[in-house]
Amino acid sequence: MSACGKSKSDLATQTAGAKATATRQFVQTAVSGTVTAISPTATPAPPKELALCISQEPTSLYVYGEPLLANLHLKQAVMDGPIDFRDFRYYPVILEDLPTLENGGATLSQVQVNPGEEYVETDGSIQTLSGQPITKPQLTAIFTLKPDLKWADGASLTADDSVFSFEVASSPATRQSKSRTLRTKSYTALDDWR
């Protein structure tokens, strides 16, 4: 990608230079009059660069760091998350599929909430039940990792890694919104991939 503010003509000049192909050159020696072909050399590919035009300097690449817009843009550019958001749609990246009620990856069941227990109200607020037990809907989703995912060091990425990440995100020491983790009753690994 180009740096911010470059004109189309600047980019066209750079592209033309980068795509120049090697040509066979001939050298004629002055003494013998013989012609010798010089082997062509390939033009090296230019380094890949990505320029992000953002209004502030990012403070961290830590996944659960400050929720600054600059940090979010940078992390989206360099990190692959489990789910990407493009063209107003969600796409699985390291997941087999996104769990939905339609594909069976998510289920909705009725559970009993007892006095003193917390539950999520339909408006998203967290409430503590007082009075008599009630029945509320509970959404359960199963996320399945794609097979053969590896960390940079070659170790397998497993569901236990996802549970660890959830625990870090839930920690009071982590400086990010807890809106999702507070609304999750449990987050467990069923096996290596779910």
Q: What are the tens digits of pLDDT across the range 131-144?
A: 999 999 999 999 99
Rounded CA gap, 107 and 42, in Å? 57
Amino acid found at 110: Q
What span, in angstroms and rounded, lies between the C-alpha atoms of 154 and 79? 17
Burial class of residue 68 (count of CB atoms within 10 Å of its CB; 0-12, 13-18, 19+) = middle
Mean local confidence (pLDDT), 93-115: 97
Does this model's pTM top 0.75?
A: no
CA angle 157, 191, 104 (to 5 degrees): 105
Domain ranges, ordered by start, for the chain: 1-51, 106-141
